[in-house]
Each structure stands twice: as C-alpha cells, then as structure tokens.
C-alpha cells in the first residue's frame, strides 16, 4: 500500500496523493509541462533545477528508463508529480522502471492526484512555490517555509566544472559550448555536423574563450533567473567585438540579450512542453517547438542593434533575436528538441553557415 502524501501550494491549497519514488519532503517551485512523450528528457534537463515538475499527460513511465535519451547524467528536478506511473513498461530499449529510478536519484514522486486541476490552478494563479510533505498538521509553518523558498546558485549547481573536448571531423569547425546547464542533445547536434565541441564551465571568462580560438560560440540553456548571473553577463558583453559567431539557446538567449542591454521578465506560468507555436517574423511561417522556460526577454527593451526575429504565436512574447553589431542570433525555444519536434533543427545549419561565412571573410 502506497503512503499518503500532500502537495501544499503557496496559495494554501492542498492536494492529497500517493508517494512513489524516494520518500521524504521537499520544497520547490511548481511548474507543469505539456509533453506527451519525453519524460526522460524532462527529468534529466538541467533547466528544471529547483523545480517540481507536473506532467499534464496522465500516464508516465510506459517506455521505461533509457539512459541513451538522458539530457544529463542525472535528474535535476526537486520532485516529480504525475497522474499515474506505469509499473510495467514495454520498450525494447528500456533498462529500468520509473519508480526505482527516482528512488536511486533521491527524487520525491507524487501520483494519484488530479494533475488537470493542479495545472489549471498554476495557469490561473501563476507559477508558485510548493511543498511535498507527509503531514499538514502545521500548515502555517509549512506555508511560511514555502514562501521563503527561492532558487539560488542555479547555474553553478548544474554546469560542468572542467573543460572537455569531443568530436571533430576534418574540415569541421571548433565550437565552444558555454555550459550554463547544457542539454546533451545540443552537443549531439554539433557533433553530428562535424564540429569539435569544447565545453567550458559557466564562469569561464570571455578572454579564456577567445584564447581557445573557436570558430563559433554556443550559449547553452540552463536554470534560474537569467538576471541573477551578473558575472556571466558582464563577460558575455565583452565578446561583442570578438567577431566570433554566436548562437544562443534558451538561457543563453536571455543572457546575450541582457549583455546587450535588454531586460528579462518572469512569465505567469512559463512555456514548457513540445507543442509551443513560434512564428518567424521574416517569413510568416509558424513552427511547433519544444520549450522549457519561465522567463522571457522583454521585446520592447531590445536595443537598436537587435531585431526581434521570432515570437510565440500564443502570447506574442520574444522567441528569437538577430544582432546587427556582431555575427550572432539567439532563440528562446529548443532546436535540438529531444524528444521532438524537429521543425527548427535547421538553425544549427544556420549557425554552421554563419561560421563558414565569417571564416571565409577572415581569409
């Protein structure tokens, strides 16, 4: 028999469910994701650091645990909340089950709750903090603890601690992957295109990056409030005159905008899932994209040297920027898109073309 467990929201609402995964209590920011597949990528995406993730799709775990699909070496979520978890997965690639995986990685799980109702509350009230607890006897103390929670040291908690090098085919470009919590598929997409990928820690200086003599710089995704990363933003601003092509994704997109004088703001409930429509303002074409972010660049704050390129077709928020003062562009969504869709993977080819153009110009 599974143990009863409670989700206490910052607004005082309480959900009673059943415990699975690791036992214990935890506090975090509660968010939802609408992906129908890709739960392994969600669990291991470093951008979810500090957050409790609610899956809106009702059945999770049906294709088991597949390490080859992980976006990092281990989960980064604070807790995992589902309607129902599958105890008997069926997939020829599966190497385990969801419940033991969560236990092994000390991730608290909650099942057996109405995830549709919980998602509706988050949509209407906005993203908030929550606590998963085994008792609601001291609700006032619990609510005080919840309200005091804040995600801190997010990037430094998930980024690499050392420089590493992977791949490199004859004629391929040298790309520095500036790691703020990079998803593994960003690296895979670069390697697929013959690049030598030099992954560097988040607090690498601009000069150290330039000294690596890269043909291009990839700014990765990552967790937390982008404006908290003042040291990284200051270093990034120094790359403007380097002439090195830059491609930013998600947090990298936000940090580059901040480094150029724009502002960011927290969204009411963020964009998380594999079905977010994005419009290219140059062509009018709409793409379905994978996204995971709670902050966005404020479009009205863009400086003169930056132009809005993509917008979210649902709410009109900034989804992509092109820069006129340097060979750089950035996007809020995920073109590497594990587990899909793959509509915007062409942007990696655009980055390759940008490096090719700058390389031929230098010659």
For residues 314 and 80, what is the distance between their CA atoms, to the nearest angstrom? 27
Q: Judge whether 334 counts as a catalytic residue.
A: yes
Which of 189, 235, 319, 336 does the annotation list as catalytic? 336
Backbone angles phi, psi at 301, to 5 degrees: -95, 0
Q: How far apart are CA 121 and CA 327, in angstroms?
A: 42
Q: Is the peptide bond before 57 cis (omega within 30 degrees of 0)?
A: no
Question: Would residue 336 show up in a list of annotated catalytic residues for this protein?
Answer: yes
Active site residue 145: no
Query: Could you say which of 235, 250, 271, 293 is catalytic?
Result: 250
Beta strands in the chain (DSSP E): 4-9, 14-21, 26-33, 51-55, 59-60, 79-81, 84-85, 108-111, 128-133, 164-167, 174-178, 196-200, 216-219, 246-249, 264-280, 286-297, 306-312, 318-323, 328-331
* CA triple 325-331-337, angle to 5 deg: 150
| Residues forming the active site | 250, 334, 336
């Amino acid at each position: 028999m599974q143990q009863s467990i409670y989700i206490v929201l910052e607004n005082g609402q309480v959900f009673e469910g059943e415990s699975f995964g690791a036992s214990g209590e935890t506090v975090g920011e509660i968010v939802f994701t609408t992906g129908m597949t890709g739960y392994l990528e969600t669990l291991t995406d470093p951008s979810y650091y500090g957050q409790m993730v609610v899956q809106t799709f009702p059945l999770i775990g049906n294709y088991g645990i597949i390490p080859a699909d992980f976006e990092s070496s281990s989960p980064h979520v604070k807790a995992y909340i589902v309607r129902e978890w599958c105890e008997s997965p069926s997939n020829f690639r599966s190497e385990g089950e969801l419940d033991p995986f969560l236990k092994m990685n000390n991730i608290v799980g909650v099942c057996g709750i109405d995830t549709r109702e919980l998602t509706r509350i988050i949509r209407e009230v906005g993203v908030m903090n929550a606590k998963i607890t085994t008792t609601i006897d001291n609700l006032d103390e619990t609510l005080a603890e919840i309200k005091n929670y804040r995600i801190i040291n997010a990037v430094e908690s998930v980024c690499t601690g050392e420089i590493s090098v992977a791949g490199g085919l004859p004629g391929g470009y040298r790309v520095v992957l500036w790691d703020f919590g990079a998803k593994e598929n960003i690296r895979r997409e670069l390697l697929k295109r013959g690049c030598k990928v030099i992954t560097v820690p988040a607090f690498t200086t601009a000069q150290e990056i330039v000294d690596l003599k890269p043909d291009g710089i990839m700014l990765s995704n990552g967790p937390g409030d982008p404006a908290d990363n003042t040291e990284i933003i200051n270093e990034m601003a120094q790359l403007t005159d380097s002439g090195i092509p830059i491609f930013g994704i998600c947090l990298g997109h936000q940090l580059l905008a901040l480094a150029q004088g724009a502002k960011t703001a927290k969204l009411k409930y963020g964009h998380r899932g594999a079905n977010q429509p994005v419009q290219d303002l140059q062509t009018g074409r709409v793409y379905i994209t994978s996204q995971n972010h709670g902050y966005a660049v404020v479009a009205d704050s863009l400086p003169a040297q930056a132009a809005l390129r993509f917008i979210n077709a649902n709410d009109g928020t900034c989804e992509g920027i092109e820069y006129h003062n340097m060979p750089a562009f950035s996007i809020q969504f995920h073109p590497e898109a594990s587990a899909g869709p793959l509509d915007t993977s062409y942007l990696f080819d655009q980055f390759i073309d940008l490096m090719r153009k700058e390389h031929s110009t230098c010659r």
